[in-house]
Structure 1
Amino acid sequence: MLQYVTRIYFKAPVLLRLFFIVVLIILTFGFILYRLEPHTFPDYFDAVWWAVITAATIGYGDYVPSTLPGRAATILLVIFGIGFVTYFFTNLAASSIAERKSWRKGTLPSHFKNHYIVVGWNERSKQFVQQMKRIYPERPILLIDYSLNESPFFNEKGTQFIKGNPTFEETLLKAGLKDARALVITAEKETPEQSADAQTILTLLAAKHSSANIYTAAEILTPEQISNAKHAGADEIIASNFISSLLMTESLEKQGIAETMITLLDAERSPYLLSVTCPDDWVGKTFEDISRIARQEEDLILGLSGNGKTLLNPPRETRVQEDYSLFILTSQSKWRDSKN
């Protein structure tokens, strides 16, 4: 039994061991004074109270040893108590400072659950973090980047920075990939587009190898790499260059379309576009039926997604299957709660 306790003690962190020593000293001297001066300390808790106050050099004076042995024990308690108590709090402060520095430098592993992981720090990821914190403030966000030297979040609650290469399994595990809600990979800045896409695909492969079920969204800059990103396991591909050029092209001939698309995707505006899981009681109904039900609540269903296909304004006789998602234009918060 003693060997077992000793083994646990030496495996424990330094602060825990120091705390154990301080508690042991206080309890021991409390028991000694309780036995030496029962008239001064009629209760063991009173003796422990006196030991705590004495070791902390507060000295209220409500209990004062009156015998020579009691005062001798008090001297020993002051000598040992002050030393260990001071050493404990000094190490506690140093440990807190070191942990804070490690958090700022991005070397602490994450303890987040159901969080979003963002790879790469650039203007797009910065905007993403700001949008998520504004719309879904309860969702933790973790950033992985190897170019930053310090966290860009500045004590923001629910955010963390991990410094490391996202293609390394060690970095992904430190970021809590297995417990994450989704992974978003942004293209590297100041890198040729082909190289940036290659890095994105490599990160995708590493992420899917570490956690096959993690939902991933990847930014791809060149159209040639879109199919490779799909083969690498991307659940959602954001072809940012293509989307931007498409919006610029169409906005010249169809004025207002860019503003319309922004309105559809901005959850802070009303109504906004969501992709949601099909309600159970809608499964088996036709697109015409669910459209009529939605219109009764002033919602508009734009299309369906399932079996790897997206159907916008499908034929009205199309039947909704169990694994389908709906693209719905709504002003109601209830749909956000059921969002995929």
Structure 2
Amino acid sequence: MFQIVQRYYLRAPILLRLLIVIFLLTIIFGVLLFFLERETFPHFFDAIWWAVITATTVGYGDYVPMTIAGRVLAIIVVLLGLGFFTYFVTHIAGAAIVEKKSAKKGTLSSHFKDHYIIVGWNERSKQFIEQMKRTYMEHSVVLIDQTLDESPFFHQKGFQFIKGNPTFEKTLQKANIKEARALIITAGKEMSEQTADAHSILTLLAAKHCKSDLYVSLEILTDEQISNAKHAGADEIIASNFLASLLMKESMEQQGIADLLLLLLDSTDLPQLQTLPCPHEWMHKSFLEGRQLAHKQHQILLGIRRNGKILTHPNESILLSKEDTLFLLSLPEPENR
């Protein structure tokens, strides 16, 4: 029995072991004083109270040992209390400092839940985090990067930096990927486009191995790797180079289209393009009825996503189901003139 207790005691954290020692010493000295001075301490709890107050060097003076043996015991309690409690407080303070340094250096594991994980520190991820601050403050963000030496947002609540290679399962586990809401993988800024895409797909495979149902949005730079990203399990692919070139092309002939798309995608103001699961009250209604319901809420139902396909102009008689994702354009309320 003693060996079992000793084994569990030695495995316990140092602060817990210290608290156990302090507790036992307080009980022991309280019991000794209770038997030494029954008149001064008529109740057992009074002796325990005195031992705690004396060991913490508070010393209210409501109980004072009267015998020589009692006062010698009090001296021992004060000396032990100074040592143990001082060590206890300094150890807590030291642990807090170490934790802050670890968080700043990115070596501290995350305990966030329902959070976003973004891979790679670049201008795109920086803009993503700025957008998150303004629109979705209820969700925390964990940044994984192996090029940074310190956290770029150390003093900001709800944001954490993890230093490490995102293709390693250990790094993803430190970001608490099993409790994550979604993962965003950006292309590496210090690699060639082909190498960056290969690294991103490798990160995607590692993430899906850790959590197969995690929603992953992946940035791809080259057209050749889009099909590979789909086969690897990417839920959404952002072909950033293709999108940028498409916008540049269309803006030459259709002036203002880039500004319009930025306006629709900016979640800080209306009009706003958004997606949401089919509401329960919309289920089993036709697409035409869905448009009418959306109109009453100052929205335009643009289309649906069903079985991985986007239908921008489905048959008006098609019935909406719980598997559908709706594409809605939220509009400001009309002004009364």
Q: CA RMSD in A?
A: 1.7
Structure 1 residues 331 and 76: CA distance shift in structure 2, 3 A: farther
Alignment map for 1:134-149 (pairs within 5 Å) = 134-149=134-149
Shift of 1:205: 1.0
Equivalent residue number for residue 29 of structure 2:
29
CA distance in structure 1 between the partners assigned to 2:100 and 2:19 by the alignment: 21
Question: 1:45, 1:118 → 2: CA distance?
Answer: 56
Q: Give the alignment of 1:203-242 within 5 angstroms.
A: 203-242=203-242
Partner of 2:335: none
Normalised to the residue count of structure 2, the TM-score between the two structures is: 0.93
Which deviations, in whole Å up to 9, do the C-alpha atoms of 1:258-294 show, x marking residues without a partner? 1211121111101311111112332332211211121
What aligned pairs does 1:51-62 form with structure 2 within 5 A after superposition?
51-62=51-62
Give me the TM-score of the superposition, normalised by structure 1. 0.92
Residue in structure 2 matched with residue 116 of structure 1 by the alignment: 116
Task: Give the aligned residue type for 1:226.
Answer: I
Letter paired with 2:29: F
- Report the alpha carbon displacement of residue 142 of structure 1 after superposing the two structures with TM: 0.8
How far apart are residue 213 of structure 1 and its match?
0.8
Q: Where does residue 97 of structure 1 map in the other structure? A: 97
- Distance between the aligned counterparts of 2:46 and 2:127, measured in 1? 59
8 Å contact from structure 2 (residues 154, 160) kept in 1: no
Per the alignment, residue 50 of structure 2 pairs with 50
Partner residue of 2:302? 302
Instruction: Give the unaligned 5+ runs of structure 1.
Output: 333-340
Residue of structure 2 equivalent to 1:336: none
Residues 103 and 161, structure 1, Cα contact 8 Å, conserved in 2: yes
Aligned to 2:155, the other structure's residue is in SS state: coil
Write out per-residue CA displacement over residues 199-245 of structure 1, whole angstroms, 9 at most, x where no aligned residue. Answer: 10110111112211111000111111111111111001111111122
One-letter identity of the residue aligned with 2:84 = F
Once the two structures are aligned, what percentage of the paired residues are identical? 56
Partner Cα distance (1:23, 1:260) in 2:
68
- The DSSP-based 3-state class of the residue aligned with 1:217 is strand
Q: Distance in 1 between matches of 2:234 and 2:149?
A: 29
CA distance in 1, matches of 2:317, 2:230: 31
Whole-Å Cα distance in 1 between the matches of residues 266 and 48 of structure 2? 61
Q: Structure 1: how far apart are the matches of 2:87 and 2:190?
A: 49
CA deviations 1:126-171 (Å, max 9, x no partner) are 1111211221111111111111111111222122111111101111
1:120-131 superposed matches below 5 A = 120-131=120-131
Structure 2 counterpart of 1:266, one-letter code = D
CA contact 1:219–1:240 (8 Å) conserved in 2: yes
- Partners of 1:133 and 1:139 within 8 A in 2: no
User: Within 1, Cα distance between the matches of 2:81 and 2:207?
Assistant: 51
Q: State the 1:331 CA deviation.
A: 5.2
d(CA) in 2 for partners of 1:160, 1:34: 52
Q: For residue 171 of structure 1, what is the aligned residue in structure 2?
A: 171
> CA separation in 1, counterparts of 2:21 and 2:68?
26
| Aligned mates of 2:213, 2:259 — CA distance in 1 | 35
Q: Which residue of 1 aligns with 2:64?
A: 64
> Which residues of 2 match residues 67-86 of structure 1 at below 5 A?
67-86=67-86
Equivalent-residue separation in structure 1 for 2:52 and 2:155 (angstroms): 35
Tell me: CA distance 1:273–1:23, structure 2 relative to 1, closer, same or farther (3 Å). Answer: same
State how far apart, in whole Å, the 1-side matches of 2:173 and 2:181 are.
14
SS in 2 for 1:251: helix
> What whole-Å deviation, never above 9, does each CA across 1:273-327 have from its counterpart, x for those lacking one?
1111112332332211211121122211111111121111333233323311100
**Which residue of the partner structure matches residue 293 of structure 1?**
293
Q: What is the rounded CA distance, in whole Å, between the counterparts of 1:255 and 1:47 in structure 2?
A: 86
Gaps of 5+ in 2: 333-337
Q: Which residue of 1 aligns with 2:281?
A: 281
**CA–CA separation in structure 2 for the residues paired with 1:38 and 1:220:** 81
Which segment is superposed worse, 249-258 or 198-207? 249-258
Report the AA paired with residue 149 of structure 1.
D
Please tell me whether the aligned partners of residues 103 and 154 of structure 2 are also in contact (alpha carbons under 8 angstroms).
no
Amino acid at match of 1:229: A
Q: Is the 1:29–1:77 Cα contact (8 Å) retained in structure 2?
A: yes
Question: Contact conserved, 2:285 with 2:320, CA < 8 A, in 1?
Answer: yes
Any conservation in 1 of the 2:141–2:159 contact (CA below 8 Å)? Answer: yes
SS in 2 for 1:326: strand
Paired positions, count = 332
1:312 matched residue in structure 2: 312
